[in-house]
Amino acid sequence: MAQSRLTSIASLESTIASLEQNLRQLKNDLETLKAQDRDQQASVQDVVPDLTDNTLDGNQITPPSLGLEEYRRYGRQMILPGFGLPGQLKLKHAKVLIVGAGGLGCPAAVYLAGAGIGTIGLVDGDTVELSNLHRQIIHASDKIGTKKVESATSYLRRLNPKPAYIEHPYHLTPTNALDVFHNYDVILDCTDHPTSRYLISDAAQLCRKMLITASATKTDGQLMSLCHNWDNQPCYRCIFPKPPSSENVQSCSESGILGPAVGVMGTLMAVEAIKHIMQFGAYNPDGEFYWESSPALTPTLLLYSAFENVPFRTTYRTKQRKDCALCSSNPSITRQSLESGSMDYEVFCGVRVPINILPDHQRISAQTFNDQVRNGSKCITLDDEKESPCKSTSNKSYILLDVREPQDFAMCSIAGSVNLPFSLIQKAKAKQDPEQRAEPSDKPETDPLRKLQGLLHDIPHVNKYFVCRYGNDSQLAVRYFLDLLDEGKRKSASVDEEDGMAEDNRVIWDIEGGLRAWSKVDPTFPEY
């Protein structure tokens, strides 16, 4: 009985605690609703006194629609020449869509929200990662794993609760772009890849929306405004009819990015949006924003180089192209082709996906490399002056070539690996003449490419392993050095009946997945 009574008491105490917790939550919800109701009442009551009965020079004065708090909040920009109450109301009635809540979108969103843009939409399907935080200033460490649009709107509401924030927590696609763009006046392209830039430009042109597009890589950036909402203005395709080659397209994770540099470009995007809204925007009595005038703007491209003595330059761009696939009189890109999905932007831009150009027998997993090679073989280097590896033909010896660039190699590397920058291999490959390819460099004794070319021929049975960051460049390096081997010898090489490998091919391997895969084998290896 005593045990049963104690159980009942514990059960009742648990139930009461749960109910008290629910009650506290309900009280908090009630206070939140009351606060929202007070804010709504203030926005109606705490306005500048109604002036509808007053006249000035016989004309009725339209009552302002800013609350007292908004006057205090935006007053420092309202006193600027050309702003005033009419300018602030233009901003309040404008709707701006930011595509990409990353390095460009974060500062743009912050300053647009601070300026009082009435409606701000954010499109992004990604989640916050630790590597984002050095440049994506809206997000914080406690938001890692959160949807970027949720993290962004949470920050913006704390900064300025007045605007309406609309979340689009998904990636922009040809099938949804037109529907999303339809409800906005200005589009900010804050993405980082040609596929999205062409898609956004196409959709903005078809919806007749103003587009502000920017990009940033390393310490450089560029910015351009495209007035798709007016006639006879060029689109993105007029200026860049062909996308850059996939070899020249790198993401921030590949090329690197300086946080303040991309921040400058994002801030300038906000400035451009505010400038165009202030200069050419208007609104009707119902509060609907529209474009009031059609200026003959000269398209310009702003270039920014953070570490140059003169960091900003402006170039003039081409006018509308008569044969443009998008905005000419006979376009091949239409609303129907976009919505149907027949326009393949990845094919158009030649998107570079993870490559797989080597047969399986010339690739090795990071785990196998660690278990079977590093733990049972001797690692040799190109700089071994005391004991030349060329004297050894043991299959137990190996050399590990890291084809990342020197600054990456200096950050972290597998013990014993040798740096052979892929840029050197590309330069050698660019020389189509085999005789030129074999020419010695100015300093052959310090040229790792030259040393390795000799090593391939002098010690054909020493295993050579190539590694890069992700496992793409290393495959290309393996292919290049296989091509350097004597073609006749490779064709006549004996084939191992057991695994079907040519004898000369056996000693050159690519480590699958690169250092990203190696970091899973060695948890102490930095992943960046």
How many other β-carbons are positioned within 10 Å of the β-carbon of residue 406? 10
DSSP state for residue 116 in the 8-state scheme: T
From its phi and psi, is residue 365 left (phi > 0), alpha (psi between -120 and 50) or beta?
Answer: beta
Residues annotated as catalytic (active site), given as ranges: 252, 468
- Residue with the two structure tokens 């398209």: 299
Go through the chain and tell me how many residues it has. 528
Residue 267 belongs to what H/E stretch? helix 259-280
Burial 72-88 (b: 16+ CB within 10 A, else e): ebbeebbeeeebeeebb
Cα–Cα separations (whole angstroms), residue 155 to 110, 140, 144, 160, 270:
9, 9, 14, 9, 17
From its phi and psi, is residue 218 left (phi > 0), alpha (psi between -120 and 50) or beta?
Answer: left
**End-to-end CA gap in the chain:** 63
Q: Which residues are documented as binding site? A: 103, 124, 131-135, 148, 192-193, 235, 238, 324, 327
**Beta bridge partner(s), residue 495:** 502
Cα–Cα separations (whole angstroms), residue 61 to 47, 48, 58, 87, 194:
15, 13, 9, 16, 49
Nearest to 206 by CA among 181, 170, 232, 240: 181
Give the Cα separation of 129 and 207 in Å (integer): 33
The letter for the amino acid at 260 is P
Cβ–Cβ under 8 Å, residues 282 and 89: no
Q: Which residues are documented as binding site for ATP? A: 103, 124, 131-135, 148, 192-193
- Residue with the two structure tokens 């924003």: 289
**Beta bridge partner(s), residue 123:** 99, 168
Give the Cα separation of 162 and 269 in Å (integer): 21
Give the Cα separation of 274 and 85 in Å (integer): 14
Q: Which residues are documented as binding site for Zn(2+)? A: 235, 238, 324, 327
Nearest to 195 by CA among 235, 257, 249: 249
